[in-house]
Structure 1
Amino acid sequence: MPPMIPPSLWVEAHCARIPAGGRVLDLACGSGRHARLLAARNHPVFAVDRDAAALSGLAAVPGIETACLDLEGGDWPLAGQRFAGIVVTNYLWRPRLPDLLALLAPGGVLIYETFMLGNAAYGKPSNPDFLLRPGELRELVRAAGLREIAFVEGYVDQPKPALRQAICAVRD
């Protein structure tokens, strides 16, 4: 079994803003590094990914419910649900971004971090369809009526060199 990747420093820095005890969606959660972090902070977590094998490691973790879902095709499988927090890292599917933000309950916190244009110089992902444009997360949350708490974009060298963009926002 490969070693567990530590949680994103961005997620760690902002997850305390999620309302105490509030249900959190970890979207495209992979092996669940953030689901584990949030469950350890007494949040009920709904961890979603299309990779059933990745989700299997979360089956015995208290406070985490998992679902193997296709987020990119057909009907939006999360329609009608509400979350006090939404965490997304290393994932971008633009057609569902408005649907995703609609899941955030009043007072809820969005924590989003992924790669941006220019990342091809450092490796994958390199397809512009999966890379944010400069300021794109900022524009997205503004259009959705969320209030920005923190935003950063540009070069990072940890955990490996990349161009990244991240935002923390709240639905007042």
Structure 2
Amino acid sequence: MNLPLIDLRNTPEYCAGHLVGATHIPWAELPERLNELPARPALLSIMGSETDCIAAQAYLVSKGYRVKIEVDWQAKLTQKQPGLVSFGTESRILWSPSPLIKEWLTLVQADLHQPLKNLKAIDLGCGGGRDAVFLAQQGLFVKAIEHKPAVLERAQQLAKHHQATIDFKSCDLTDPNCYGEQDFERWDLVVCIRFLNRQLFPVMRQSIRPKGFVVFQTFTEGCEVFGSPKNPNFILKPAELSEVFHDFTILIDRIDSLPDGRPVASFIAQKKG
């Protein structure tokens, strides 16, 4: 099953029989679990009661998804054919970390002379927690900071669901007590995805250990024509990151495009030492 299928029914109904490859997210929980869906504007298929499907379709479309309602799911479940129907709590995982995080992992795995579990990472502006959870699953010690409590709660739920141990913190990154001198050469990896605060550049540089890495990806000039962001405070200038980290070894410095077309600067650099 290639098209993501969201089963909106409650847990007892899902466990009693569901289509193989389905993802279980009850309709009542969907608004708080958007971080478990693939990136917009993905095409999703949903199944459940008619009332729930109509409501969920309207909600997901408002969030930028394309949605198809599965109409013959009950007939398929009734057949209970092997390979078509499954039982229990197994649920397909639809979310994935930033491709740039996976690219970093590929770059460093061959060159590391110590296990990943010995590395410490900090995720600045972690959002829904996908990158933090992925890194924790690889064995890294991860600290994740997000100043919006509601967003951080979703990240914590994702970590709990995947049994990932993460040191979450809700605070303002511009507060020195949140991220500052106490982080001097503490981190092997500093992650900053879809977040930009230029005040943090000096602290980021200082917080990375010798031979540690920075993985940075956020919007760059040209995204304005797509609607957002438009505030120059949240948009990188050309070659800005290579200038900030000029004395690092730059491994990746390029412009990528998100599925919606917006350009982002993708940057990975290693501190010398």
Q: Output the TM-score relative to the length of structure 2.
A: 0.57
Measure how far apart 1:3 and its partner are. Answer: 4.7
The answer to whether the Cα contact below 8 Å between 1:15 and 1:38 also exists between their aligned partners in 2 is: no
Give the equivalent residue in structure 2 for 1:23.
120
Distance change >3 Å, CA 76–CA 96, structure 1 → 2:
farther
Give the equivalent residue in structure 1 for 2:260.
160
**1:14-70 residue CA offsets vs partner (Å, 9 max, x unmatched):** 134275220100110011010011011000100001012222232634321100010
Instruction: Classify the secondary structure of the residue corresponding to 1:102.
Output: helix
The answer to whether the Cα contact below 8 Å between 2:35 and 2:128 also exists between their aligned partners in 1 is: no
The answer to whether the Cα contact below 8 Å between 1:26 and 1:88 also exists between their aligned partners in 2 is: yes
The percent of aligned pairs where both chains have the same amino acid is 24
Measure how far apart 1:75 and its partner are. Answer: 3.0
Residues 1:63 and 2:165 are matched in the alignment: yes
Measure how far apart 1:8 and its partner are. Answer: 1.4
Q: Which has the higher strand share?
A: 1
- Correspondences of 1:104-119 after superposition (within 5 Å): 104-119=208-223
Instruction: Classify the secondary structure of the residue corresponding to 2:176.
Output: coil
Instruction: Provide the alpha-carbon RMSD of the alignment.
Output: 1.8
Return the alpha-carbon distance in structure 1 between the equivalents of residues 129 and 164 of structure 2: 13
Structure 2: unaligned runs, 5 residues or longer: 1-32, 39-95
- Correspondences of 1:27-38 after superposition (within 5 Å): 27-38=124-135
**1:122-167 residue CA offsets vs partner (Å, 9 max, x unmatched):** 121111111000010111111xx311111102x51x3321111111
Q: Which of 93, 101, 106 matches 1:11?
A: 101
Distance change >3 Å, CA 165–CA 106, structure 1 → 2:
same
Return the alpha-carbon distance in structure 1 between the equivalents of residues 139 and 176 of structure 2: 31
Q: Output the TM-score relative to the length of structure 1.
A: 0.89
Radius of gyration: which is bigger? 2
Measure how far apart 1:106 and its partner are. Answer: 1.1
By relative contact order (CA 8 Å, sep 6+), the higher-ranking structure is: 1
Q: Hey, which bits of structure 1, 4+ residues long, moved more than 4 A? A: none
Structure 1: unaligned runs, 5 residues or longer: none
